[in-house]
Amino acid sequence: MHDEFTPLLGSTDWNEEWKELQKLRRHADDASFWDKRSATFTTKDAPNRYVEQFLAYAAIRPGETVFDMGCGTGALAVPLGEAGHKVVAADFSQGMLDQMQARLDAAGVRTVFPKLMSWEDDWPAFGVRAGMTDVAIASRSIATADLRESLLRLSEVARRRVCITLATGSSPRVDERILAAVGLPCLLGRDYLYAFNILAAEGIKAEVRYIASTREDTFASPEDAFEKLAAMIDDSSAVQASAAERERARASLREWLAVNLVPNEHAGEPDCKGVAQGAWHLAEPRTVTWAFLSWNK
């Protein structure tokens, strides 16, 4: 006799698992945080392989309309507008929308329509309705408490196709190499697997591809590097590590930086967001891999 076996893959409520995972994570940043951060961005475009790969995978057809949820400063909305698409671009940060509008004005684009709206808002009250556009996209912007609701709401807006990207490992703000080096555990969320399983349970057959994005973290000084990376350690380990463990990790961080922080020969040049690079950087840039999930209606 064998003990009764119930496969977890088919019996698990992945949305409830997602909700439990969020309890272990740092709180998502609110609109005021992004309003302040938007002030550090510029309107100058810089080569961005992530954007190029996203648009290639999205395969949006000429003349199609697009809904871009969590558009930020318009990394996707601006080039889509330049290509002649009509885009409804929504974000909960007015600062981000202002930066996008400046980019649109500089490019002479008049077919992108900004909308101050969050994932949690009543979308129909903002004019975002079912079947509103041909394609709906959400690039690195799904940080919601209810993943299933977010995915299905986004899908409902699109008539033909939906494209999203989610993290394959921990948060892109977390350098897993550093956590390992200072002896702290790293919570790997693998957000895309939750999304894939939730969609599968809804009968949606999502296709998965990957986009490797290089992160070049730069700093004004060695002390600036320490403070920012120490804050990263504190944010990422608050739930999993004691105060004593975090303090030991900060001491180890100084030793790690003594070996791995080097002068940046490209200091002052724009990074992928158009922001001037700092005088110091890590000897080895890190690679963040994003999962690109898409499905047709």
Is 94 domain-assigned? yes
Is 1 domain-assigned? no
Is 96 domain-assigned? yes
| Average pLDDT along the chain | 90
pLDDT at 23: 82
What are the phi and psi torsion angles at 283 (to 5°)? Answer: -60, -35
* pLDDT 10s digits, 151-210: 999 999 999 999 999 999 877 888 989 999 998 877 667 899 999 999 999 999 999 999
Is 105 domain-assigned? yes
Give exposure, 169-185, as e/b (b: 16+ Cβ within 10 Å).
bbbeebbeebbebbebe
Distance (Å, whole) CA 196 – CA 200: 6
Average pLDDT in the 271-279 region?
82
Of the pLDDT bands very low, low, confident and very high (cuts 50, 70, 90), residue 48 is confident
pLDDT at 44: 47
Does residue 8 register a pLDDT over 70?
yes
Is 106 domain-assigned? yes
Does residue 237 register a pLDDT over 70?
no
pLDDT at 40: 59
Is 133 domain-assigned? yes
pLDDT at 46: 53
| Contact (Cβ atoms closer than 8 angstroms) between residue 137 and residue 68 | yes
The greatest distance separating any two alpha carbons of the chain, rounded to the nearest whole angstrom, comes to 73
pTM: 0.87
Does residue 47 register a pLDDT over 70?
no
Q: What domain range is 210 assigned to?
A: 8-171+185-215+289-296
Is 137 domain-assigned? yes
Is 57 domain-assigned? yes
Residues 6+ apart with CB under 8 A from 187: 24, 25, 170, 236, 239, 240
* pLDDT 10s digits, 62-114: 999 999 999 999 999 999 999 999 999 999 999 999 999 999 999 999 999 99
Domain count, the chain: 1
We report the CATH number of the domain holding residue 154 as 3.40.50.150
Does residue 239 register a pLDDT over 80?
no
pLDDT at 290: 96
Nearest to 170 by CA among 153, 195, 144, 191: 191
